[in-house]
C-alpha cells in the first residue's frame, strides 16, 4: 500500500508538471472566451460587478450568451494573488485537472472495495494506479487542463460527486452524501453539459436511495432543489437557452414540416450521440478543432486502441460487478448532453468521457497480462507496451510544446496581446483610437490587457468624422493583402514565417 501511495504521488507530480509547465505561453495566447472570463473575473474582483455593471451575478453575459459562474469566481480568486494575467486565468483549470488524478484513484479504489468477487478485486488491484497514470498523460485531459476551460473544473466536481456517492454507499455517513450532492451542484453551475449530467446524477441518487420513502430525506432534498432551482428556471429563459439554440442540431425544429420533425430529428440526435464513440474521433482525428487537440492526434493515443477494445470486452464478461455498471454508466451518459449540439463529436463537450475511456484501456492491459502465464513473457509484454507508449507520448510532447504554438496561433487569439501592447505605447500620441469591426474580438482583448486605452469600434466602410479632421487618429484594421500609404506599423503573428495579423494606420499626422 505504501508503494502504491508513493507511485500515486509521483503520478500526481507528473500530472501537475505536464499541466503547469509554461502554461501562460502555451497554448499560444488567450482565446476569446478566456479573455472574457479573465476580464469579468477582474471586474468582479475590483468592483464586485461584471463588465456590464451587474453586481455579483450568477450568469455572466458574453458574446450573446451567458457563462456559468464557478470558473469566473475561481479566476477572481487567482487574480487576487497573481494579478490580471494569462497564468491567473488558466490556473484553476491546471489545479482542477491535476486534482482529478487522485480523485479518479480514490473513485476506483472505492468501486473495487465494493466488489463481491474477491478474485476480481485481487486481479484489478493495480487498476486505480494505472488508470490515474493514463489520465495524467492523457492528450485529451492535458489539452483542456492547460487552457481556461470551465469543463475541466466541472469534470473534477462531477467525478468527486461520483466518488463521494460510492463512499457513502460504503459507510452510510450523512456527511458523505451532503458533500456528494454539493459536488454535483457545483458542477451544475460550472459548464453547460453539467446542467444535464449533474441533474441526471442527482435524480439517479434520489431513485437509488428511494428518497420518496424517507421523510427525513426532505431535509436534504429541499436545499438541493432550492440551490438548483435558479439554474433550472434560468435555462427556460431566452438568455439561458440562447447557447442551446445557437449550437443546437435542432435549431430548425418547428420550421420544417411535421414529417421531418417526427422522423429525422431523433435520427439526427442518435447519429450525433453515436459519433462520440467513433474510433476515428477517439484515436485518429479528434473533432478537428485546433483549440481542442494537437494535429495528428486523437483524444486517446493510437497504441491504446487494442487495449480499449479489450477492456470493454473484459467488463462485458463480468456478470455482477459494480465497476462494470459504474464505468458503462459514465461511458453512455456523458455524450447525452453534447449530442444535442453541433458539431458532433465535440471534445470539449465530452471531456468527462475520458474517465471511462482510460478505465477501459487500463482494464485491457491488465486483462492481457493475466492471460500470459509465464513471468518472462509478462515482462516482455510490459516492455513492448512501454516502448510504444513512451514513443507516442514523447512524440506528443514534441508536437505540443514545439509545433503547436507555431501552427495554432490563430486558434488562440495570438497577436491580440502584441497589438494591445503596441497601441498602449502609442496611445498618448493620438486623440482617437479606432478599431475596424472586422477585428471583431479586439474590444475584449483591449479590456483584458489594457482597459485604460480608449477606443471606438467602426465598420469596415468607416470614413473619418468631419469633427476629427484636425485631430490625430490611430486606425487599427486587419491585413487586407495590401500596404496602404498611411501605414504606421504591422503587427505580426509570433510564428516562424512572418504573417501580418493587423495594421496600424496613422491618419492626420
- 179 with 246, same domain? yes
Name residue, grid cell 467488463. Answer: 315
- 6 with 130, same domain? yes
DSSP notation for 468-491: GTTS-EEEEEE--SS--TTEEEEE
Alpha-carbon 380 to chain mean position: 37
Q: Could you tell me if residue 190 is inside a domain?
A: yes
User: For residues 274 and 267, what is the distance between their CA atoms, to the nearest angstrom?
Assistant: 11
Contact 138, 293 (CB under 8 A): no
Q: Could you tell me if residue 256 is inside a domain?
A: yes
Q: Could you tell me if residue 492 is inside a domain?
A: yes
485 is in which domain, residue-wise? 415-507
- 236 with 313, same domain? yes
Q: Could you tell me if residue 378 is inside a domain?
A: yes
- 454 with 392, same domain? no
- 391 with 468, same domain? no
Q: Which of 404, 428, 463 is the last residue of a domain?
A: 404
Full pLDDT tens readout for the chain, 509 residues: 678 889 999 999 999 999 999 999 889 889 999 999 999 999 999 999 988 888 999 888 876 678 899 999 999 999 999 999 999 999 999 999 999 999 999 999 999 999 888 888 888 999 999 999 999 999 999 999 999 999 999 999 999 999 999 999 888 888 888 999 999 999 999 998 999 999 999 988 888 877 766 767 767 778 888 888 888 887 777 665 656 555 555 555 555 555 666 666 778 889 899 999 999 999 988 888 889 988 888 999 999 999 999 999 999 998 888 999 999 999 999 999 888 887 889 999 999 999 999 999 999 999 998 888 888 888 898 899 999 999 999 999 999 988 888 888 888 888 888 888 888 888 888 888 889 888 888 889 999 998 888 888 888 777 666 556 677 888 888 887 777 767 777 888 876 666 888 888 887 65
- 492 with 459, same domain? yes
User: For residues 457 and 442, what is the distance between their CA atoms, to the nearest angstrom?
Assistant: 9
- 261 with 225, same domain? yes
- 342 with 278, same domain? yes
Q: Which of 404, 436, 467 is the last residue of a domain?
A: 404
Q: Could you tell me if residue 331 is inside a domain?
A: yes
Which residues, 6 or more positions from 422, have their beta carbon under 8 angstroms from its beta carbon? 489, 491, 504
- 202 with 136, same domain? yes
- 340 with 363, same domain? yes
Q: Which of 352, 377, 404 is the last residue of a domain?
A: 404
Contact 103, 72 (CB under 8 A): no
User: For residues 468 and 508, what is the distance between their CA atoms, to the nearest angstrom?
Assistant: 9
The dihedral region occupied by 508, where left means phi > 0, alpha psi between -120 and 50, and beta the remainder, is left
Q: Could you tell me if residue 488 is inside a domain?
A: yes
Q: Could you tell me if residue 47 is inside a domain?
A: no
Q: Could you tell me if residue 503 is inside a domain?
A: yes
User: For residues 285 and 102, what is the distance between their CA atoms, to the nearest angstrom?
Assistant: 29
DSSP notation for 43-85: HHHHHSB-TTS-BS-SSEEETTEEE-SHHHHHHHHHHHHH-SS
User: For residues 123 and 371, what is the distance between their CA atoms, to the nearest angstrom?
Assistant: 11
DSSP notation for 283-346: IIITT--GGG--TT--SS-GGGHHHHHHHHHHHHH-SS-HHHHHHHHHHHHTHHHHTTBSSSS-
pTM score > 0.85 for this model?
yes
- 317 with 251, same domain? yes
Count how many domains the chain has: 2
- 377 with 450, same domain? no
Q: Which of 63, 64, 82, 61 is nearest to 72 (CA)?
A: 61
Amino acid at each position: 500500500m505504501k508503494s502504491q501511495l508513493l507511485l500515486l504521488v509521483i503520478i500526481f507530480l507528473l500530472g501537475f508538471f505536464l499541466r503547469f509547465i509554461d502554461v501562460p505561453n502555451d497554448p499560444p495566447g488567450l482565446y476569446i472566451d478566456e479573455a472574457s472570463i479573465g476580464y469579468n473575473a477582474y471586474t468582479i474582483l475590483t468592483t464586485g460587478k461584471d463588465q456590464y455593471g451587474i453586481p455579483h451575478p450568477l450568469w455572466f453575459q458574453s458574446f450573446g450568451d451567458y457563462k456559468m459562474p464557478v470558473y469566473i469566481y475561481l479566476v477572481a480568486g487567482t487574480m487576487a494573488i497573481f494579478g490580471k494575467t494569462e497564468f491567473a486565468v488558466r490556473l484553476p483549470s491546471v489545479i482542477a485537472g491535476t486534482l482529478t488524478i487522485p480523485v479518479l484513484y480514490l473513485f476506483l479504489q472505492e468501486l473495487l472495495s465494493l466488489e463481491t468477487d474477491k478474485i476480481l478485486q485481487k486481479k484489478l488491484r493495480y487498476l486505480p494506479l494505472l488508470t490515474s497514470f493514463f489520465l495524467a498523460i492523457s492528450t485529451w485531459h492535458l489539452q483542456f487542463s492547460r487552457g481556461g476551460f470551465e469543463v475541466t473544473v466541472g469534470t473534477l466536481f462531477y467525478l468527486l460527486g461520483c466518488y463521494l456517492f460510492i463512499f457513502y454507499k460504503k459507510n452510510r455517513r450523512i456527511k458523505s452524501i451532503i458533500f456528494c450532492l454539493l459536488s454535483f451542484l457545483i458542477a451544475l453551475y460550472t459548464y453547460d453539459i453539467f446542467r444535464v449530467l449533474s441533474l441526471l446524477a442527482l435524480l439517479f441518487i434520489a431513485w437509488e436511495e428511494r428518497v420518496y420513502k424517507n421523510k427525513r430525506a426532505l431535509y436534504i432534498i429541499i436545499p438541493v432543489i432550492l440551490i438548483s432551482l435558479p439554474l433550472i428556471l434560468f435555462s427556460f429563459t431566452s438568455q439561458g437557452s440562447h447557447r442551446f439554440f445557437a449550437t443546437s442540431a435542432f435549431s430548425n425544429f418547428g420550421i420544417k414540416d411535421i414529417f421531418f420533425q417526427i422522423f429525422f430529428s431523433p435520427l439526427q440526435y442518435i447519429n450525433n450521440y453515436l459519433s462520440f464513440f467513433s474510433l476515428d474521433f477517439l484515436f485518429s482525428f479528434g473533432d478537428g478543432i485546433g483549440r481542442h487537440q494537437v494535429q495528428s492526434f486523437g483524444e486517446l493515443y493510437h497504441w491504446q486502441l487494442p487495449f480499449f477494445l479489450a477492456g470493454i470486452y473484459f467488463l462485458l464478461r463480468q456478470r455482477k460487478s459494480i465497476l462494470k455498471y459504474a464505468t458503462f454508466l459514465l461511458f453512455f451518459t456523458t455524450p447525452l448532453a453534447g449530442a444535442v449540439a453541433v458539431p458532433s463529436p465535440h471534445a470539449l463537450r465530452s471531456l468527462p468521457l475520458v474517465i471511462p475511456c482510460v478505465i477501459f484501456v487500463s482494464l485491457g492491459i491488465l486483462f492481457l497480462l493475466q492471460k500470459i502465464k509465464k513471468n518472462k513473457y509478462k515482462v516482455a509484454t510490459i516492455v513492448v507496451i512501454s516502448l510504444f507508449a513512451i514513443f507516442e507520448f514523447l512524440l506528443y510532447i514534441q508536437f505540443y510544446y514545439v509545433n503547436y504554438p507555431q501552427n495554432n496561433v490563430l486558434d488562440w487569439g495570438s497577436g491580440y496581446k502584441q497589438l494591445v501592447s503596441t497601441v498602449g505605447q502609442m496611445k498618448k500620441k493620438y486623440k482617437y483610437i479606432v478599431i475596424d469591426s472586422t477585428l471583431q474580438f479586439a474590444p475584449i482583448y483591449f479590456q483584458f490587457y489594457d482597459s485604460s486605452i480608449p477606443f471606438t469600434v467602426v465598420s469596415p466602410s468607416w470614413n473619418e468624422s468631419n469633427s476629427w479632421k484636425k485631430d490625430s487618429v490611430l486606425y487599427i484594421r486587419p491585413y487586407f493583402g495590401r500596404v496602404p500609404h498611411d501605414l504606421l506599423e504591422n503587427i505580426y503573428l509570433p510564428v516562424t514565417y512572418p504573417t501580418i495579423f493587423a495594421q496600424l494606420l496613422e491618419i492626420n499626422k
